[in-house]
Amino acid sequence: MAVAYVDAPETLVTTYLQMTSPDQFLPSFVTTPRGVEILECEAPDIDFYRFLYSSVGYHLRWRDRLLMPDAELSAALRSPTTSIHVLYVHGTPAGYVELEKQGRDTEIAYFGLRPQYQGRGLGKHLLSYGINRAWEDGAQRVWVHTCNMDGQHAMANYTKRGFRVFRVDEQPMPDRYRS
């Protein structure tokens, strides 16, 4: 399935959202259809991770993790503060959520579905799983950032789950996202 890039605007607008209490969390788990499961990737290897990252973010111009040297990426993935949870549909990786503990906070560092799995309610299910996991693991605050190049339903999914905006930054579009 060929997927086109999103257009790169002249300005990158990054929006930061947070939850400061589990009471703010508004989960939306779909009744899990047969063949859908989320598994923690306990020993992530670079090739599988890059497959996930690029198949979820290619059309959104995700670049950062693809530009990282292998040793740096491997260290980030194997850090005890990082956990990667993969959504499978009938044994096929459909998306993932990556959590990073930062002291008492947990960031949803990366989250998304491969384009062919969007529009089925799996995104809200996977996001709810990630948020729930962060709270269960002792987070005092869960946060995420998104930008104006993200998927069209990203912001709505975050706010429907209970996230609230706490900061918005604007900068000229970095060159790495233009091509």
pLDDT digits (tens, 9 = 90+) for 132-141: 999 999 999 9
Q: Is residue 153 part of a domain?
A: no
Q: Which residue has the higher pLDDT, 6 or 80?
A: 80
Residue 170 in this model has a pLDDT that exceeds 70: yes
Query: Whole-number mean pLDDT of the chain?
Result: 92
Q: Is residue 146 part of a domain?
A: no
Q: Is residue 35 part of a domain?
A: yes
Of all residues in the chain, the percent with pLDDT exceeding 70 is 95
Residue 144 near residue 155, CB atoms below 8 Å: no
Residue keyed to tokens 């930061």: 16
Q: Is residue 165 part of a domain?
A: no
* pLDDT score, position 174: 83
* pLDDT score, position 3: 53
* pLDDT score, position 33: 74
* pLDDT score, position 32: 66
pLDDT digits (tens, 9 = 90+) for 36-51: 999 999 988 999 999 9
Q: Is residue 171 part of a domain?
A: no
Q: How many domains does the structure of the chain reveal?
A: 1
Residue 94 in this model has a pLDDT that exceeds 60: yes
What's the pLDDT band for 103 if we cut at 50, 70, 90? very high
Residue 133's domain spans which residues?
25-141
Q: Any idea which of 2-6, 97-101, 168-172 has the lowest mean pLDDT?
A: 2-6
Torsional sign, CA 112, 47, 107, 145: negative
Strand positions, DSSP E, 10-163: 11-19, 36-40, 82-89, 92-102, 105-113, 141-147
Q: Is residue 100 part of a domain?
A: yes
Q: Is residue 114 part of a domain?
A: yes
Mean pLDDT, residues 98-118: 97
pLDDT digits (tens, 9 = 90+) for 2-56: 455 566 788 999 999 999 999 999 999 877 678 999 999 998 899 999 999 999 9
Residue 74 near residue 82, CB atoms below 8 Å: no
Give the CATH number of the domain where residue 109 resides.
Answer: 3.40.630.30
Q: Is residue 159 part of a domain?
A: no
* pLDDT score, position 1: 44
